[in-house]
Amino acid sequence: MPIVELHVLEGYGAEDKRRLGEALTDAVRFVVPAAPEAITVMIHEMPEPHYYRGRTTRGGAAALPDPKELVRSYLAAMEARDLAKAEGMLGECFTMQFPGTVPMTKLKELIEWAAPRYRFVTKTYEGFDAMQSEGAAAIVYCRGTLSGEWPDGTPFDGIRFIDRFEVEGGKITKQDVWNDMGEVRGTARKAEVRP
């Protein structure tokens, strides 16, 4: 039964400590074949006056937002076409790439690119997965299916997608999108042409 002990400075809330406990449990499970209930995580809080570095009392940094929740909020804002809210969640050097496009840096570019491809699209999520990269970014994958309408008003649904996001400093810095929309649309067009 693995036991992990963590010392943090005072000031982190219950939700921050829950996230730490879950993340440490998952980190152990990457290496040790143990069920989550077999892993014990103990978080010890250190009062601020008892922590010194360089002869100076130091305080803890604020917890970063949950990257999965940030991505969920961003996707909800995009689906609602609340572009101002969605843009507020993006980093300065944000880039996104969709199938068949060059990288885009503005949400307006995405809206213009998508306009002749479909009237609207909604996502049904099967899951979100988050992990820390070897660098500074947290990586979030979301996967599920797309539904909506083609430009002629014909409905579509059940189209697979997966999105990969990079999150740094509480902002989304990169979005990569893969889906079967082109293949499904191509099959639908071939069916329309057949006698």
Condensed to tens digits (0 to 9), the pLDDT of residues 31-42 reads 999 999 999 999
In the sheet that holds 155-168, the strands lie side by side as 90-97, 171-179, 155-168, 138-149, 120-132
**What pLDDT was estimated at residue 191?**
52
Residue position matching structure tokens 């996707």: 75
Grouping H, G, I as helix, E, B as strand and the rest as coil, residue 92 is strand
Q: How many helices (H) and strands (E) does the chain have?
A: 5, 9
Region 39-56: what's the mean pLDDT? 84
Helices (H), the chain: 14-31, 67-79, 83-87, 107-114, 181-193
Q: How confident is the model at residue 58 (pLDDT cuts 50, 70, 90)?
A: confident
Q: Could you tell me which residue, 147 or 48, shows the higher pLDDT?
A: 147
Region 126-141: what's the mean pLDDT? 94
Mean pLDDT is lowest, of 33-37, 70-74, 121-125, 187-191, for 187-191
Per cent of the chain over pLDDT 90 is 78
Region 169-184: what's the mean pLDDT? 94
**Closest CA relative to residue 59, chosen from 46, 48, 45:** 48
Enter the CATH code of domain 67-193. 3.10.450.50
- What is the H or E stretch that residue 5 is in? strand 3-9
Q: CA-to-CA distance for 125 and 143, rounded, in angstroms?
A: 6
Per residue in 66-103, pLDDT tens?
999 999 999 999 999 999 999 999 999 999 999 889 99
How many C-beta atoms surround the C-beta of residue 63 within 10 A? 16
Instruction: Please tell me the pTM assigned to this model.
Output: 0.85
On the question of pLDDT at 193 being above 60, the answer is: no
Mean pLDDT is lowest, of 5-9, 90-94, 143-147, 156-160, for 5-9
Q: What are phi and psi for residue 185, nearest 5 degrees?
A: -65, -40
Q: CA-to-CA distance for 147 and 159, rounded, in angstroms?
A: 7
**What pLDDT was estimated at residue 47?**
81
Average pLDDT, the chain: 91
CATH domain 3-57 topology = Macrophage Migration Inhibitory Factor (3.30.429)
On the question of pLDDT at 138 being above 80, the answer is: yes
On the question of pLDDT at 105 being above 90, the answer is: yes
Characterise 142 by phi-psi region: left (phi > 0), alpha (psi -120 to 50), beta (else).
Answer: beta
For the chain, the structural domain boundaries read: 3-57, 67-193
